[in-house]
Amino acid sequence: MASSPDLFPNVAFSDVSAAAPAAEATAAFGLGATTGAPRLCLVKSGKDEAEPTVDIDLADAQVFKLGPMEWLCVCDESEAKAGVEEKSFSRAIKVVLRTEAESKAFSLAFQQWKHQVISGKAGERLENGSIIASKSKFDTKIEASSAKMYFHYYGQLLHQQNMLQDFVRTGTYYAAVMENRSDFEGRVVVDVGAGSGILSLFAAQAGARHVYAVEASEMAENAQRLMSGNPSLGQRITVIRGKVEEVELPEKADILISEPMGTLLVNERMLESYVIARDRFLAPDGKMFPTTGRIHMAPFSDEYLYVEIANKALFWQQHNFFGVDLTPLHGSAFQGYFSQPVVDAFDPRLLISPPIYHTLDFTSMKEEELYEIDIPLSFVASVGTRVHGLACWFDVLFNGSTVQRWLTTAPGSPTTHWYQLRCVLSQPLYVMAGQEITGRLHLVAHSAQSYTIYLTMSGCLSRNPTCCHKINSSSSNCHLCSHTDRSSRCRKGLAQASR
């Protein structure tokens, strides 16, 4: 083994497929001297480290918890028989540690060497964590290609910086944590989707006993660097690279902290991961920061925006484009432009009714409730005007024991990198003051980590126009960004534009 392995002396181990009794050994995690690949070696007491009794390649190995101090390591083996037929099979090694603390450290070392995210100072004992084997909830719902691009996006410091530099966002998280120190002091915290690790560091600043920073993208390595560079806080933080749907933690959390909000709150489908993390890691009566979220909606009137979008389709009204009549495609182009929601900041005076909202309680909702969200709309117009669509934004509440703090993305409030979102009707509605506007906002999740938006709005004086809007994390977000030329900073939009 090369370079500072994690050593566990005096473990008992047995090969479950062999009849041999349990033997004493030293378990050593490290990188193979020739391959450089992470390995777990079990060296029988008194034997030479160069000839381990068991040598497990961690790349294909899984670990399962059998009991408080017992683990089952399963790995792939193959055997060439008579040089022709190759048989592959699984090998399972049971490892029993001496204490529960050592047991936690063993499973965390297993996971961290497997993923080569080395936590803490060199030679320092690591705490628990392990990967579960079967296809996770995340993998069954989300297309692999979407997940790959999504985590690639978040793996880049540029995009983490974009979020960190959103002062309203980062400052509100900081205030929410610091004003509620009693919720963090001496507590175990899980940071769900830690990114750069900033929220874990805030939790540690507020006195957390230990923080597990779970991050699925390559950013985990940078988060680890940040922890090492801030040792007084970092020594209480364990960075784990993996999806919250897949990693296992050694203890329950008293509080979850996360920033899982996308455009319209639900875009990216990360709220589902937040709720899954709650069910997997949070102790009964544990807290969640944020605690609840609300989607706010109101009809708006914006003649300029309407004309801007309609004008984009004018190109297709040319009868003689290099001798070709483009007009047969005008209708499709017109509908296409209107089916892209607009992400930008607007003046709240464009709203023509008081907003309504729909609440999501992260502490009690089921993950499945996020697959389809159906919101009935009912407004009373304050003025007689043309209604061009529905404006949406969100806020989240940190329901601390000391202070309740809201993070809002409302129009008129300081702008955030989420801006606001507007669905624009291709046929505006005419309304009179006092007239009722009814409809439905129907959000349906899809496997590319986003939602299709179906919007219906009607007023008594007009026909019932139905407009279908789409946001998704791939091509339409790209249009969404270029649509207004004002949202170049919109979250995830740029990465998705390059897909």
Q: Which residues contact ligand SAH (rule: CB under 6 A)? A: 138, 151, 154, 163-164, 193-196, 198-199, 214-217, 219, 243-245, 259, 270, 273
Nearer to ligand SAH, 216 or 381 (CB): 216
* Nearest residue to ligand SAH, by Cβ distance, number only: 193
Shortest separation between residue 42's beta carbon and ligand SAH, angstroms: 31
Going from the C-alpha of 10 to that of each of 39, 169, 212, 230, the distances in angstroms are 18, 49, 28, 34
How is residue 349 written in tokens? 């005076």
Shortest separation between residue 193's beta carbon and ligand SAH, angstroms: 2
Shortest separation between residue 384's beta carbon and ligand SAH, angstroms: 43
Nearer to ligand SAH, 241 or 294 (CB): 241
Nearer to ligand SAH, 58 or 176 (CB): 176
350-365 CB burial, b ≥16 within 10 A, e <16: bbbbebeebebebbeb
For residue 173, is it left (φ>0), alpha (ψ between -120 and 50) or beta? Answer: alpha
Three-class DSSP category at 415: coil
Three-class DSSP category at 97: coil
Shortest separation between residue 271's beta carbon and ligand SAH, angstroms: 10
Contact 160, 219 (CB under 8 A): yes
Nearer to ligand SAH, 103 or 273 (CB): 273
How is residue 4 written in tokens? 């500072």
How is residue 478 written in tokens? 């790209």
Q: Which one-letter amino acid corresponds to residue 397?
A: L
Nearer to ligand SAH, 93 or 214 (CB): 214
Nearer to ligand SAH, 183 or 245 (CB): 245
Shortest separation between residue 331's beta carbon and ligand SAH, angstroms: 39
Shortest separation between residue 269's beta carbon and ligand SAH, angstroms: 8
The sign of the torsion formed by the CA atoms of 29, 31, 35, 38 equals positive
User: Whole-angstrom Cα distance, residue 135 to residue 141?
Assistant: 10
- Which pairs count as long-range contacts for 119-128, CB under 8 Å and 24+ apart, including other chains? 119/224, 119/227, 119/238, 119/239, 119/240, 120/235, 120/238, 121/228, 121/231, 121/235, 122/4, 123/4, 125/6, 126/6, 126/238, 127/210, 127/238, 127/250, 128/103, 128/104, 128/248, 128/249, 128/250, 128/251
Nearer to ligand SAH, 236 or 483 (CB): 236
Nearer to ligand SAH, 73 or 219 (CB): 219
Shortest separation between residue 171's beta carbon and ligand SAH, angstroms: 12
At residue 348, φ and ψ (nearest 5 deg) are -60, -15
Shortest separation between residue 476's beta carbon and ligand SAH, angstroms: 20
How is residue 121 written in tokens? 């100072």
